[in-house]
Amino acid sequence: MTTMRFDAGEIVTAMITPMDEDRKVDYKALEKLVEHLIATGTESILIAGTTGESPTLTHEEEVEIFKFVKKVANGRVKLILGAGSNCTETAVMATKNAKECGADAILSVVPYYNKPSQKGLIEHFSTIAKSTDLPILLYNIPGRTGITMKPETIATLAKMHKNIFAVKQSLADMDVITETRRLCPDDFIIYSGDDSLTLPMISVGAYGVISVASHIIGKEMHKMLDLYKSGNVKEATDMHLKLYPLFKKIFMAPNPVPVKECLSKMGIIKNFVRRPLVELDETERKELYEVLKEYV
């Protein structure tokens, strides 16, 4: 891939939202986290995605968090704001709010729960794309939305709308990734949406990863991608195998519960999640720490 419609970089971190004891946004910890991510190789920060506990953030909180991160980052990384909804009108409104806030791009998830057809997905995302000049990153995550956006649908949208620049693919079917790459324009980007699938997806045409593990091992993930793309496939594979236990363990419980536990252990945030999520118990923490100690 020689050109891109919008370059968010190879490592985009789907950032957690730090919480305090009252489960309010912890802005002091958030500043520390942003600095940590930038220092360890994050090229774009995704704010108010699923990892950021968007289902339990208010729209006002999302805007406040974005404005705070924008001030802290001060142009050092690009900022992507989660602006999706299962209501097209709401998604358009959220997209316009993202533009007003100064987002560099938005993430727009496949509508969840109401299960639209592929034709409905084209209508939904086309309406959003026509409402803005912001770059749009599609988010295909069947495990949370209940439906799969097919490669043909992604390709149709990529060809219809130049500002739809990429898709985050959170599914383990390499045939789907291959077909997406085969059908989409060369300047359209595919991101892995699962850390453990990053290297396999890169091998069939993905560009990078929208990562949770980069909260902890951002530099190592960059090295893995650099090795592969420079032709050192064996070394990249060895690094993938080394990182794999952590990739899997940070999803031992619903995301972002384990990664928040890791960041708390590293002294970056306090370990609180909003209900209905619950923190790990003592047995689970010990199991996670046993793996984490190999990396930090």
| Residue 168 annotated as catalytic | yes
pLDDT at 1 over 80: no
pTM: 0.97
Number of domains in the chain: 1
> How far apart are alpha carbons 85 and 51 in whole angstroms?
16
Instruction: Give percent above pLDDT 90 in the chain.
Output: 99
Residue 216 lies inside a defined structural domain of this protein:
yes
Residue 284 lies inside a defined structural domain of this protein:
no
Q: Are 86 and 114 in contact (CB under 8 A)?
A: yes
CATH number of the CATH domain containing 143: 3.20.20.70
Q: What one-letter code names the amino acid at 36?
A: H
Residue 290 lies inside a defined structural domain of this protein:
no
Residue 242 lies inside a defined structural domain of this protein:
no
Cis upstream peptide for 151 (omega within 30°): no
Residue of 139, 191, 207, 228 marked active site = 139
Token pair of 54 as six digits: 């968007």
| Residue 139 annotated as catalytic | yes
Residue of 70, 78, 168, 260 marked active site = 168
Residue 266 lies inside a defined structural domain of this protein:
no
The model's confidence at residue 265, banded by pLDDT at 50, 70 and 90, is: very high
Mind listing the pLDDT tens digit for each residue in 118-175? 999 999 999 999 999 999 999 999 999 999 999 999 999 999 999 999 999 999 999 9
pLDDT value at residue 80: 98
> How far apart are alpha carbons 11 and 222 in whole angstroms?
7
Domain extent, residue 122, equals: 11-231
**Bridging pattern class, strands 208-211 and 78-82:** unpaired
**How many Cα atoms sit within 13 Å of 103 on the Cβ side?**
29
